[in-house]
């Protein structure tokens, strides 16, 4: 793993641990999610309660996952930060806030979700190409339905991007710096 990948891995590990601790501090327990028998995840822990909810926590992906198939389908390389970000942890979306407001960091819940995520990224990139816009890869959604946070594929910068438009506002020079700047709201 190169230095940049190591720094993203460390930032994600610290963030997910801080989120878990934040939930425990706020509620006395791990985050909870509605259990779905047809959509299991290695993140789920403990027993399903009477209302169908189960505790969960982010878990390190212990299998080799990558975006080589996405790169083959698109015919170009995806920025290494995207590979690293989406291949480190299985997790439910993690709510946080940055200087621009509230957001949810997107992760794969399980291996099937990882594959679905890859398909969505291919669709996103094909749309960007059709619109003759620079290639970006989404990794977070905001409170506004039509605003995402993206990584510019050519340089790894983090930007705000309205759906269907060019990136509109610079946020951070790298994914690591962006992740390290996030806060959790109560």
Token readout for 41 is 């995840």
Q: What is the largest CA-CA distance in the chain?
A: 51
Residues in the chain: 186
Query: Per-residue pLDDT tens for 96-115?
Result: 999 889 999 999 999 999 99
Query: Per-residue pLDDT tens for 30-81?
Result: 999 999 999 999 999 999 999 999 999 999 998 888 889 899 989 999 999 9
| Tokens 């706020």 sit on residue | 26
User: 29: helix, coil or strand?
Assistant: coil
Token readout for 19 is 């989120």
pLDDT score at 65: 87
| pLDDT greater than 70 at residue 186 | no
Percent of the chain with pLDDT over 70: 98
- Separation between Cα atoms, residue 10 and residue 6, nearest integer Å: 6
CA angle 183, 137, 168 (to 5 degrees): 70
Domain count, the chain: 1
Is residue 186 in some structural domain?
A: no
Question: Which residues form the domain of 158?
Answer: 3-181
Is residue 158 in some structural domain?
A: yes
Checking DSSP bridges between strand 101-105 and strand 136-142, what pairing results, if any?
antiparallel
pLDDT score at 28: 94
- Separation between Cα atoms, residue 151 and residue 82, nearest integer Å: 8
Is residue 22 in some structural domain?
A: yes
- Separation between Cα atoms, residue 42 and residue 45, nearest integer Å: 8
Residue 44 phi/psi, 5° resolution? -70, 140
pTM across the whole model: 0.93
Q: pLDDT band at 3, cuts 50/70/90?
A: low
- 157: burial class by Cβ within 10 Å (0-12, 13-18, 19+)? buried
Residue 124's CATH number: 3.40.1580.20
| Tokens 């050519």 sit on residue | 154
User: 138: helix, coil or strand?
Assistant: strand
């Amino acid at each position: 793993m190169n230095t940049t990948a190591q720094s993203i891995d460390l930032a994600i590990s610290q963030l997910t641990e801080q989120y878990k601790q934040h939930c425990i501090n706020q509620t006395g327990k791990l985050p909870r999610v509605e259990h779905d028998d047809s959509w299991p995840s290695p993140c789920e822990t403990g027993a399903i309660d009477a209302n169908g909810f189960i505790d969960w926590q982010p878990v390190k992906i212990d299998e080799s996952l990558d975006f080589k198939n996405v790169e083959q389908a698109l015919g170009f390389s995806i920025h290494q930060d995207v590979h690293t970000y989406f291949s480190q942890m299985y997790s439910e979306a993690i709510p946080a806030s940055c200087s621009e407001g509230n957001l949810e960091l997107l992760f794969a819940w399980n291996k099937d979700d990882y594959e679905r995520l890859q398909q969505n990224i291919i669709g996103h990139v094909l749309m960007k190409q059709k619109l003759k816009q620079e290639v970006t890869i989404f990794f977070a959604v905001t409170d506004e339905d039509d605003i995402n946070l993206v990584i510019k594929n050519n340089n790894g910068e983090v930007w705000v991007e309205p759906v269907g438009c060019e990136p509109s506002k610079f946020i951070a020079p790298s994914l690591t710096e962006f992740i390290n700047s996030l806060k959790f709201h109560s």
